[in-house]
Chain A
Amino acid sequence: MKYLFMCIFALLGLASIATWKMLPASKYDVPVVYWVTDPNPARIEQIAIFQRWLKKDPSRPAMHILLDAANSRTEKKIIQGVSGVGGDTMDIGGGGGMRYFNAIGLLEPVTEFAKKYNYDLSTTYEAIRPELAQDGEQYIYPCNVYATAYWVDNAQFDELGMKHPPLRWDFDTFERIGKEYVTKANKGSDRQTRFLASSVDTELLHRSMGLARFNETLTRCQLDDERYIKALELKYKWTYKDHIVPTAAEASGFDVESGYGGPAVYLFSQGNYAMFNMGRYALIRLRELQQERLDSGKPLMKLGILEPPHGGFPITRTGTRALGVYSGGKNKELAVIFQSYLASKDYNMQVVRDADALPPNPKYTKTAAFEKPLPLLPPTTLLKTLFAYSPDEYSMLSDFRIDFYEALDQVDRDKPWSITDLPRPPQAAAMSDAAYQEKLAQFDQQYNASLPTYKSEWGLHERFLFLMDNIALPADITPFAVPDTISMEIRNAEAKYFNERATVEEASQRAATRINAAIQRTLSENPA
């Protein structure tokens, strides 16, 4: 028995060594930098572009970026971080996340590196800068930046014989148009299935009346204020009385698969919502939905961008998904080089093309590729099948994608051009010339069929820049309470009021009291 036991023990030991040897990082002969991020397919292309960018300057050290999409939840990043095994770089959810991670000590200050590698605060939008630095020290740099707005399908208003909603509107106008819309749109229905907007943001409501969540020193929550009470009452009225926006039950009653951006985008395309609140990144899903309409012979949505309704001060929200360098990482020198890549033309143009919100560096929004986007290539998996590439040829395909997009960025949109002027998918070794020509024709046809979808966006992209430059405000945060705790307390207080478990005054008082208690605890435990 003991020999058997020893054999099992030895086998387990060998298996452990084999597992260690098979770790992804051990496959590369250059240092590996881990990037803890979301499981978005665009990251693969961003890494491929990074490798090309790296080689453009011989002074840049060789490295490989490995995606870690399995640990992107905040709790996981924190626990791994404080245990000394965090990813070298990690996505941080804006200024709130940055302050929280920085309070724990997980983020490396990068002010000096940012100056050295040209990605300091001056290279990004003014409105977002407070989100990236604390006490004069820069900690993160945006992967993308967003300003939220209401996406509207004006075709729905045309159908009901209504005027298109204005770009800027106050609460009363929003309510009046909303009531008219839901009455006309649901006429003759047993159940209300069409709403003006998917949701309203309470924070924007009270901030547009001039009420910030916290006082100037960020040491007191001010939600026990008349303006917050009014914001809650408005939301309640619009949701439960006027039914301009759906209740939580009505929203969950639409049994749809969410897809990228959540169910609101899909329901918007189906006419259940005339508007939904989101940044430019909604286009990632909207493009697919527009294409589906086009393919099925339906008219395209008439997309427009509107500001959120205001109570005196027009505002909207800006935020960022940013990249931070883990202070306990082994490859901090390399990680900052990856961070500096986010300010490069190569990376920014990829964000511009993908419509993954706004590019971090506003310089690249003054391009034809941003203002008048042209169709993207089909997914790599489809191209692999279409042109029958062997696994050995996949890197050739990856190079083609980048070459194609670099050429596409240069296309003069105002002059006639053809897809045949751009780089073409390379011929697979096993494919005959005739078969290749046939596939190319299919490829061209498919590409040209997408043109109307992309042209329907022209003129919208600049709107986000306008919002960013004029009315966008970063999140209202305090370094003295955990962002998730604040959100949870506010959510709970609102739910109590909406579920008639508390009066509006009690709900507002509760939110302020509980958040203030959290702030006071932090201050008393850590007076410094």
Chain B
Amino acid sequence: MSTKSNRTIREFATGVGFIVPNILGFLTFTTIPLVFSMVMAFTNWDLKLHNMFKPDATPHFVGIDNFVRLLSDSDSYKYLGNTLFLMMGMPFAVGGALICALLLSKDLRGGSKKASLMLMAAGLLVASCVMLTLVGAGASAMTLLICGMACTFLFGGTLGGSTVYRTLFYLPHFTAGVATFLLWKKLYNPVSGPVNQALNPLLENLTGIINNTPSILIQSGLLLAIIVMSAILLWGVLKLNSLWRDGDLGSKAIVLPMIFLLVPSFMAAQWFPSAIARYAIAIIAGMLLIKTLFTIFTSKQVFSCKPSNGFGTAAMMCLFLMVAQFVIVGLGIVAYNLPQLAAITTVEGVSNGGLTAPNWLTSYHWAKPAIMVMGLWGAVGSNNMILYLAALTNVPGELYEAADIDGATSFQKFWNVTWPQLAPTTFFIVVMAMIGGLQGGFEMARTMTQGGPAGATTTLSYSIYTEGFVTGRLGFSASFAWVLFAMVFSITMFNWKFGSRYVND
């Protein structure tokens, strides 16, 4: 008995010995600083006043002053808004990752016929490239670069199959961040950057087309946007209604998704340049809201369920629809203003105006989208793609066989088999992306824009850094960090509470 007990103790001690270095490191560099920062958030700790050279001055407990200051500072909301704006690219990133994974899950190694076709295409590209060079147009480095890359992709894929493509798509993820940001800075150069060099000729042609088209026709794009947006809204509301009626969505669970769905409409009601459009969209949204509420309060569910049931499914769907509506709103407003933007004025023989490529990183309006696009590039071929690839291999083959027997088309197979099977992965990816999005933006802001112009690219994490290490107000900075933590924690809780339910849905 004693020997056994001694042995157990010895084994326990050995085990503890193995993990002690890790535990010590975790305590020293994670747990203690974490607890410390929690305490700091409630003090007036300022590096200028409280440090080892000022033993008489000690930080004071200030209660929730730091949080009150944070919540009463309009800039905090602006930085939150900037962060959320950058996160708007998230659905596209997730969608892009899924498309990449679907493509890369296929066997792309050229069979005899496939290989010949690909090689022929590559050969054609090379020949076009040479011809362009011969006629002078191909001297543009941009053209050669694009052709060269396309050829590399085609040849590489033909020879190495999806392994080559997977490596290429994953490249942005393991390329050093700062190096890629500097590269993007070059790409975004307003004069010599390839992005604007490619855009300028297109915009020049577009200017001509717009100026030769009646304004009313182009501006009717706004009307089209309202129709599409209303259709999305209507589809969303009907879907929510049907989920509720069928007992897949509870009465309480419908509220927040409904708000997600209606937010773009009410925002658009303020943004739309035309008064008619403003009223139209507000009335449509208001009517739909009243109709839904009326249905919920006056009708009965066909199949009853718990009030909180189905929240995950509905919230996810409505978040995606919200982003889609915002995109449509943006396009509609652009269409409405296009004739004015494309107008060319001539003064003393010098023409001015017309559509020009944006000053990406130095313009208040374009800096955020520029950074978002860059983030999208990195996110499409990231770990999300790998997760989707792994998840795709786990979809049971029998389900596809059954679908084939039922005569399902490719899209039907995707919509009714693949997509539901990928639900747990999608949910995990979205939640992780939201957490990453809230914490992100620091390196980009610091390397590319220093948070400017006029704070347009200052995100929450960049603001925490400047408050802590530039201004020296560690207490305030810590409170900012804890507010960010609260947001991340809420999302994690959301995942924990509704994730499994969504998956089971």
Q: Give A contacts to B, CB under 8 Å.
A: 2, 5, 9, 74-75, 78-79, 82-84, 100, 103-106, 191, 247-250, 252-255, 327-328, 482, 484-485, 488, 491-492, 495-496, 498-501, 522, 525-526
Contacts and interface: CB of A to CB of B under 8 A. Distances in A.
A250 B471 CA distance: 31
Given A104-B47, A252-B362, A84 B453 contact: no
Contacts of B53: 82, 104-106, 327-328
A482 B452 contact: no
Interface in B25-73: 44, 46-49, 51-54
B454 A492 contact: yes
Interface in B184-215: 186, 189-193
B49 A495 contact: no
B362 A82 contact: no
10 contacts: A74-B470, A82-B52, A104-B48, A104-B53, A249-B362, A252-B190, A485-B471, A492-B452, A499-B453, A525-B46
Given A253-B189, A484-B470, A328 B363 contact: no
Nearest to B60: A525
Contact of B361 (A5, A252, A327, A488): A252
Nearest to A83: B52
Nearest to B367: A499
Contact of B191 (A100, A248, A253): A253
Contact of A78 (B47, B359, B456): B47
Contacts of A253: 189-192
Interface in B465-485: 466, 469-472
Contact of B470 (A2, A485, A498): A485
Contact of B52 (A78, A84, A103, A522): A84
B18 interface: yes
A53 B342 CA distance: 69
Count chain B CB atoms within 10 A of each CB in A82, A100, A106, A250 and give the residue with the most. Answer: A82
Given A250-B191, A255-B186, A525-B46, 19 more contacts: A2-B14, A83-B52, A103-B48, A191-B191, A247-B359, A249-B362, A250-B190, A252-B190, A253-B192, A254-B191, A484-B470, A484-B471, A488-B470, A495-B364, A495-B453, A499-B364, A500-B364, A501-B454, A526-B49
A522 B44 CA distance: 11
B17 interface: yes
B156 interface: no
Nearest to A528: B57
A387 to B, nearest CB: 38
Given A327-B53, A496-B454, A75 B190 contact: no
Contacts of B330: none
Contact of A492 (B44, B192, B455): B455
Given A105-B51, A482-B470, A255 B189 contact: yes
Contacts of B455: 492, 495
B454 A75 contact: no
Contacts of B48: 100, 103-104, 482, 522, 526
A104 B48 CA distance: 4
Q: When A and B form their complex, which 7 residue pairs have the shortest distance between CB atoms, in order from nearest?
A: A105-B53, A253-B191, A249-B359, A495-B454, A499-B364, A255-B192, A248-B362
Interface string B472-500: 10000000000000000000000000000
Q: Which of A252, A327, A484 has the most B CB atoms < 10 Å from its CB?
A: A252
A496 B365 CA distance: 11
Interface of B: 14, 17-18, 21, 44, 46-49, 51-54, 186, 189-193, 359, 361-365, 452-456, 466, 469-472
A74 to B, nearest CB: 8
B114 to A, nearest CB: 41
A303 to B, nearest CB: 27
Nearest to A518: B471
B44 A525 contact: yes
B5 to A, nearest CB: 19
A496 B14 CA distance: 62
A326 B140 CA distance: 55
Contacts of A79: 469
B54 A105 contact: yes
Nearest to B361: A252
A502 B389 CA distance: 48
A382 B264 CA distance: 65
Nearest to B360: A249
A254 B193 CA distance: 10
B138 to A, nearest CB: 21
B359 to A, nearest CB: 3
Contact of B472 (A2, A78, A250): A78
Given A82-B51, A485-B470, A248 B453 contact: yes
A5 B471 contact: no
* From B46, B48, B191, residue with most partner A Cβ within 10 Å: B48
Contact of A5 (B17, B49, B52): B17
Contact of B18 (A5, A498, A525, A526): A5
A71 B336 CA distance: 52
Contacts of A492: 452, 454-455
Contacts of B14: 2
A82 B47 contact: yes
Given A82-B47, A499-B363, A249 B470 contact: no
B123 to A, nearest CB: 34
B190 A482 contact: no
Nearest to A78: B47
B442 to A, nearest CB: 14
A79 B465 CA distance: 13
A5 B14 CA distance: 10
Contacts of A526: 48-49
A191 B453 CA distance: 24
A217 B47 CA distance: 24
B17 A488 contact: no
Contacts of A328: 52-53
A84 B53 CA distance: 9
Contacts of B18: 2, 5
A74 B472 CA distance: 11
A247 B362 contact: yes
A482 B471 contact: yes
B140 to A, nearest CB: 15
Given A104-B53, A495-B454, A252 B47 contact: no
Contacts of A83: 52
B472 to A, nearest CB: 6
Among B14, B191, B365, chain A packs the most CB atoms within 10 A around the CB of B191
Given A82-B51, A248-B362, A488 B466 contact: yes
Contacts of A495: 364, 452-455
A4 B453 CA distance: 56
A106 B365 CA distance: 41
A37 B52 CA distance: 23
Contacts of B470: 74-75, 482, 484-485, 488
A428 B359 CA distance: 56
Contacts of A106: 53
Contacts of A482: 48, 470-472
Contacts of A525: 44, 46, 49
A38 to B, nearest CB: 19
A313 to B, nearest CB: 30
Nearest to B13: A2
Contacts of A9: 21
A252 B365 CA distance: 17
A522 B46 CA distance: 10
Nearest to B469: A75
Nearest to A479: B48
Nearest to B359: A249
A171 to B, nearest CB: 25
B476 to A, nearest CB: 9
A253 to B, nearest CB: 3
Given A106-B53, A484-B470, A491 B452 contact: yes
B469 A78 contact: yes
Contacts of B359: 247-249, 252
A111 B283 CA distance: 75
